[in-house]
Amino acid sequence: MRDLAIGVIGTGKMGADHAETISSVVARASVRAVVDIDHKRAESVASRLPSARSIVSVEELIQSPDIDAIIIATNSDAHTEQVLACVAAGKPVLCEKPLAPTVAECEKILRAEQVVGQRLLQVGFMRRFDPAYVELQQQLASGSIGHPLLAHCAHRNFGVSSRWEAADTIVSAAVHEFDVMPWLFGREVVGVNWSSPIPIASRSLPDPQLIVLELAGGPLVVAEVTMHSYGYEIRCEIVGDKGAIELAGNARTARRTRLQVSEALPEDFRLRFADAYRIELQSWVDAIHRWRSDPSGNEPISGADGWDGYRAAVITEAVIASMNNGQKTAVNYLPIPDLYRSSRTAS
């Protein structure tokens, strides 16, 4: 079995990381081509990979017959067109979150997949592959805390650029909760409510933001999302009617020095989620191999699909609306198409 040949679109931080991860620690896959609007950056990334060339045109990379599957890590404005081209070409594609900047674009992608008649698109919600979140999910599924009723979440970043705006926090950070909470609870988000100790009307960034998600049937999620915090940290506790379960700390060592005991916190998500990204990519590669050897019983995806990306976009728009109008806001979805419903019956 030869290595899966992967093309990477977008060689910024995220794309370069994925290319490096695949090249160093993912089995049965190689990055064969990269492309970026900054062609010099693409060349530089390609030169550090063992077997990758840089290509000038995105379309050429997607159509290239020696490219089996594609990773999209461009600015989200470019996602829709690129995903549509991959789907049209019948090639598996892993698109970084968020799937697209608008719900309308996500719907366009869903329609395109339905036309093709198969799910080719996976969305890069890597928390589903993080061993701690997986353990949380398994514990919930096993009924270890009874019926889950409430979640307390915190997403804290070690600073963002001065150009960062309130909506960016929702689109880029809170969006992870919009995917992982429905996944953990097995319930849809039906209402959202945005607030912040720093009013949106003020000139500065509202930070922290406090987002309450109401799930179908009643469960509530309280998600703090803070961009200027003491370090990068993700916290999550689920409270059920028989107990509660939370993510444990991630420190590998504890240090005692002058009058304190301390554990280090990481600067960014790459340290925290390095293993999740590796497992996500390996799992995606493995799914594609299975699908290529037997397309009848397999699909080339292993995590969040197009519908999950669409759902996150719908919630994102609702939260932004709640922020702008200061109201609790209902969340409404399209009827789920057959293509996406079938895979959800098991759960």
For tokens 């010099």, name the residue: 40
State which residue, 58 or 132, has the beta carbon closest to a copy of itself.
132
Q: Are 216 and 188 in contact (CB under 8 A)?
A: yes
Q: Is 228 in the site for a copy of itself (CB under 8 A)?
A: yes
Of these, 63, 231, 290, 298, which contacts a copy of itself (CB under 8 A)? 231
Q: Is 163 in the site for a copy of itself (CB under 8 A)?
A: no
DSSP tag of 305: B
Q: Is 230 in the site for a copy of itself (CB under 8 A)?
A: yes
State which residue, 163 or 256, has the beta carbon closest to a copy of itself.
256
Q: Is 247 in the site for a copy of itself (CB under 8 A)?
A: yes
Give CA–CA dist 300/122, Å, rounded.
8
Of these, 27, 104, 115, 167, which contacts a copy of itself (CB under 8 A)? 27
Q: Is 253 in the site for a copy of itself (CB under 8 A)?
A: yes
Of these, 56, 104, 264, 334, which contacts a copy of itself (CB under 8 A)? 264
Q: Are 214 and 192 in contact (CB under 8 A)?
A: yes
Q: How far is the CB of 59 from a copy of itself (least distance, A)?
A: 29
Of these, 117, 162, 203, 252, which contacts a copy of itself (CB under 8 A)? 252
Query: Which element (helix H / strand E) includes 195?
Result: strand 189-195
Contacts to a copy of itself from residues 183-222, by CB under 8 A: 195-199, 208, 210, 212, 214, 218-220, 222
Q: How far is the CB of 112 from a copy of itself (least distance, A)?
A: 33
Q: Is 131 in the site for a copy of itself (CB under 8 A)?
A: yes
Stretch that binds a copy of itself, among 19-27, 34-42, 296-304, 309-317 (CB under 8 A): 19-27
Q: Is 135 in the site for a copy of itself (CB under 8 A)?
A: yes
For tokens 């019948």, name the residue: 90
State which residue, 1 or 346, has the beta carbon closest to a copy of itself.
1
Give CA–CA dist 148/272, Å, rounded.
26
Q: How far is the CB of 319 from a copy of itself (least distance, A)?
A: 16
Q: Is 233 in the site for a copy of itself (CB under 8 A)?
A: yes
Whether omega for the bond prior to residue 199 falls within 30 degrees of 0, making it cis, is no
Site string for a copy of itself, 79-108 (x = CB under 8 A): ------------------------------
Give CA–CA dist 98/102, Å, rounded.
10
State which residue, 78 or 149, has the beta carbon closest to a copy of itself.
149
Both tokens of residue 19?
């290319």
Give CA–CA dist 272/263, Å, rounded.
14
Give CA–CA dist 225/155, Å, rounded.
5
Q: How far is the CB of 231 from a copy of itself (least distance, A)?
A: 5
State which residue, 86 or 211, has the beta carbon closest to a copy of itself.
211
Give CA–CA dist 327/228, Å, rounded.
25
Q: Is 254 in the site for a copy of itself (CB under 8 A)?
A: yes
Phi-psi region of 243 (alpha: psi -120 to 50; beta: other; left: phi over 0): left
Phi-psi region of 34 (alpha: psi -120 to 50; beta: other; left: phi over 0): beta
Q: What is the DSSP string of 118-173?
A: S--EEE--GGGG-HHHHHHHHHHHTTTTSSEEEEEEEEEEE---TT--HHHIIIII
State which residue, 37 or 150, has the beta carbon closest to a copy of itself.
150
